[in-house]
Each structure stands twice: as C-alpha cells, then as structure tokens.
Amino acid sequence: MKIFMNKTISIVVLVTALTGCAFSSGQRTGNMKLEDATQESLVDQFKLDVATRDDVVSRFGPPEKKITAGSMEVWTYSYKSSAYVIVGFASVPTGTSKAANFYFDEKSGVLKKIELEAHRG
C-alpha cells in the first residue's frame, strides 16, 4: 500500500510540474501613463475641442513622434510591457503594447481626436 501511495504522489507532483504555469514579468518601456489607459479614459482626461497641446504635454510629457497630416498635427505616445508565461517546459511571450495618437488642429493647437490602439500577446 505504501508503494502505491508513493507512486501516486510522484505522479501527481510530476503532472503538476509539467502542466503548471509560471509567470515572469519582463520589461516596461515607453510612457507609463498609458499602462492603464483606455480610449474612454483618454477622452475623459482630454475633452475634444477644448484641450490643447499644452494640456497633453503637461500630463504625458513631450510626444515620441510628431507628424503633420493635412491640417492636423498628430502626436504619438507609446507603451509596451513584456512578460513570459511558462507552460511545462515552454516559455510563451506575452505582454501589452499601446499607441495613443492625439490629433490637433495645426493652427489653433486644439485637440480634435484621440485614437488608442492596444494589443495583447
């Protein structure tokens, strides 16, 4: 009976080890203020047709990238986190990446549109 119990415990431990998951946090880069941001939270923070370039800079700092598209000036901010999930003996990369684009009227500097792209995986 004791041999049977030892084998059973060994099998349970082995199966748990092979199917268990481990999580390893990785690196976070970019604008940390985007970490928890959603499209809705950005629109709540920055009212369209009211907020200006100065409002965005005061909360997010200087943009990573600025381009002009027609009569709009587009500012881009990004955030990326990486992590690994270990399943059995395989390590699977996972994480989040976000890019926020703020569209300003080029002449007045008033915010006209916000787009947030978020990807997991």
Residue that wins the pLDDT comparison between 60 and 24: 60
| Residue 76 domain-assigned (yes or no) | yes
| Residue 5 domain-assigned (yes or no) | no
- 120 falls in which pLDDT band (50, 70, 90)? confident
Residue 85 CB: number of other CB atoms within 10 A? Answer: 13
Q: Give burial (CB, 10 Å; 0-12/13-18/19+) of 34.
A: buried
| Residue 52 domain-assigned (yes or no) | yes
Domain span at residue 48 reads 22-120
| Residue 68 domain-assigned (yes or no) | yes
Give me the pLDDT at residue 27, please: 83
| Residue 16 domain-assigned (yes or no) | no
| Residue 59 domain-assigned (yes or no) | yes
Give me the pLDDT at residue 95, please: 84
- Residue-wise pLDDT for 75-92, tens only, equals 999 999 987 666 666 656
- Residue-wise pLDDT for 34-52, tens only, equals 999 999 999 999 999 999 9
Query: How many domains in the chain?
Result: 1
| Residue 88 domain-assigned (yes or no) | yes
